[in-house]
């Protein structure tokens, strides 16, 4: 029997249906019919590590809000779209996105350990389709990269690339070793946070086997996600010399206040994860209940600037719908008249010092 390319998740432990969520006490039985309709369209998975973090007695629990489906997901606004950041417009071969000159994204897998209710790829990830890129698709992606010396970095995404079994991952990464102009391999993942037991010595060894510089971007949105087990998993990666950066999505009612965001960013830094991006919510179908306004995000960033170490400051970015790329949308501290605003809101004249 051929081995699975993806580490199996114990189905009796990972909750994969509304029925399982109801049985575990994470969703009310009265909501079952509506949640079944949500699950017909969008994948559901809640790992044991996530389930034990959920406070089922709190209807506003920030962990449940991220992973337990609700019927709010059945409401799709006119401006929402299946491909909100325009991956398809920049996909020259299947599974590969080339939006920026010096890097490409490679969607190795189409499954995740958990499924975030706000995911911008929620229309394309989950069980039911192919688990991984096929061999012909992978070879086409490799050929595309080989032929373009301007490609300096490959960003492995999906799905979640760290659900791939370590031996299979090492085999895949070996194929990138010989591409001389590729210097950086970056992995976008939730695994160390939502299923930290997967971060084994074998997985760490697979990441280190490439002969390239490896970065791992860790996705977490609330400080409670940085459990002792998650921090241990992050330490295993950091101790191996793997650089860690963070990714967070700004989510209404979950992390859109300065206290929560500051605690999360400090938690990242304490775990040797450099805060990198705070993403404005994308226009994915059925996610409007998660989105703040950009003005609210800018006010949050302004509050963080006044209270938080520079080490803990992420860049607030908007991925422009339609495939036009990410741009920083943080607050502006320099006004057109030459005045500068300090972190406490004070205004200072800088016109006579700004010499070209």
What span, in angstroms and rounded, lies between the C-alpha atoms of 302 and 283?
Answer: 24
Q: Which of 87, 119, 160, 190 is catalytic?
A: 119
Say yes or no to pLDDT of 315 above 50. Answer: yes
Alpha helix (H) residue ranges in the chain: 18-23, 32-41, 48-51, 62-67, 135-146, 166-177, 191-194, 201-208, 228-239, 258-270, 294-307
Report which of 3, 49, 51 is spatially closest to residue 191, judged by C-alpha positions.
49
Active site residue 36: no
Residue 303, SS3?
helix
Q: Which of 61, 87, 195, 319 is catalytic?
A: 319
pLDDT band at 11, cuts 50/70/90? very low
Q: Give the model's pLDDT for residue 344.
A: 82
Q: Per mean pLDDT, which range of 5-14, 297-306, 333-342 is the poorest?
A: 5-14
Burial-class residue 171 by CB neighbours within 10 Å (0-12, 13-18, 19+).
middle
Active site residue 102: no
Q: Give the model's pLDDT for residue 1.
A: 35
Active site residue 11: no
Determine what percent of the chain is predicted with pLDDT higher than 90: 83
Q: Give the model's pLDDT for residue 8.
A: 57
pTM: 0.93
Active site residue 354: no
Q: Give the model's pLDDT for residue 301.
A: 97
Torsion of CA 85, 83, 301, 276, to 10 degrees: -70
Active site residue 55: no
Torsion of CA 262, 265, 269, 273, to 10 degrees: 180
Counting Cα atoms < 13 Å in the Cβ hemisphere of 59 gives 1
Q: Which of 81, 107, 121, 224 is catalytic?
A: 121
Q: What are the pLDDT digits (tens) for 127-181?
A: 876 688 999 999 999 999 999 999 999 999 989 999 999 999 999 999 998 899 9
Q: Which of 32, 41, 100, 236 is catalytic?
A: 100
Q: Give the model's pLDDT for residue 12.
A: 47
Active site residue 282: yes
Active site residue 307: no
Q: Which of 112, 122, 212, 215 is catalytic?
A: 112
Active site residue 257: no
What span, in angstroms and rounded, lies between the C-alpha atoms of 313 and 242?
Answer: 21
Q: What are the pLDDT digits (tens) for 66-95?
A: 999 999 999 999 999 999 999 999 999 999
């Amino acid at each position: 029997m051929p081995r699975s390319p993806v580490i199996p998740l114990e189905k009796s432990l990972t909750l994969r249906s509304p029925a399982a969520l109801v049985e575990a006490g994470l969703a009310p039985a009265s909501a079952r019919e509506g949640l079944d309709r949500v699950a017909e369209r969008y994948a559901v998975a809640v790992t044991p590590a996530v389930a034990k973090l959920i406070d089922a007695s709190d209807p506003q629990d920030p962990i449940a809000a991220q992973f337990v489906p609700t019927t709010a997901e059945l409401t799709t606004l006119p401006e929402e779209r299946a491909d909100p950041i325009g991956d398809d417009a920049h996909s020259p071969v299947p599974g590969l996105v080339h939006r920026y000159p010096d890097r490409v994204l490679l969607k190795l897998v189409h499954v995740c350990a958990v499924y975030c209710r706000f995911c911008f790829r929620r229309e394309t990830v989950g069980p039911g389709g192919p688990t991984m890129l096929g061999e012909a698709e992978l070879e086409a992606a490799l050929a595309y990269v080989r032929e373009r010396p301007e490609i300096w970095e490959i960003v492995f995404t999906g799905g979640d690339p760290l659900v791939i079994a370590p031996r299979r991952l090492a085999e895949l990464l070996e194929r990138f070793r010989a591409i001389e102009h590729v210097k950086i391999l970056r992995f976008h993942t939730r695994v160390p946070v939502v299923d930290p037991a997967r971060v084994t010595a074998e997985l760490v060894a697979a990441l280190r086997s490439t002969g390239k510089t490896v970065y791992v971007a860790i996705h977490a949105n609330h400080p409670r996600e940085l459990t002792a087990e998650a921090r241990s998993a992050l330490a295993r990666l950091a101790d191996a010399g793997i650089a860690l950066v963070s990714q967070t999505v700004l989510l209404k009612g979950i992390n859109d206040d300065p206290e929560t965001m500051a605690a999360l960013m400090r938690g990242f830094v304490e775990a040797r994860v450099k805060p990198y991006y705070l993403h404005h919510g994308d226009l994915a179908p059925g996610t409007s209940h998660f989105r703040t306004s950009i003005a609210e995000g800018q006010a949050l960033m302004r509050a963080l600037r006044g209270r938080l170490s520079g080490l803990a400051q992420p860049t607030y970015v908007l991925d422009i719908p339609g495939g036009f790329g990410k741009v920083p949308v943080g607050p502006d501290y320099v006004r057109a008249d030459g005045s500068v605003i300090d972190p406490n809101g004070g205004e200072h004249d800088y016109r006579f010092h700004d010499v070209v």
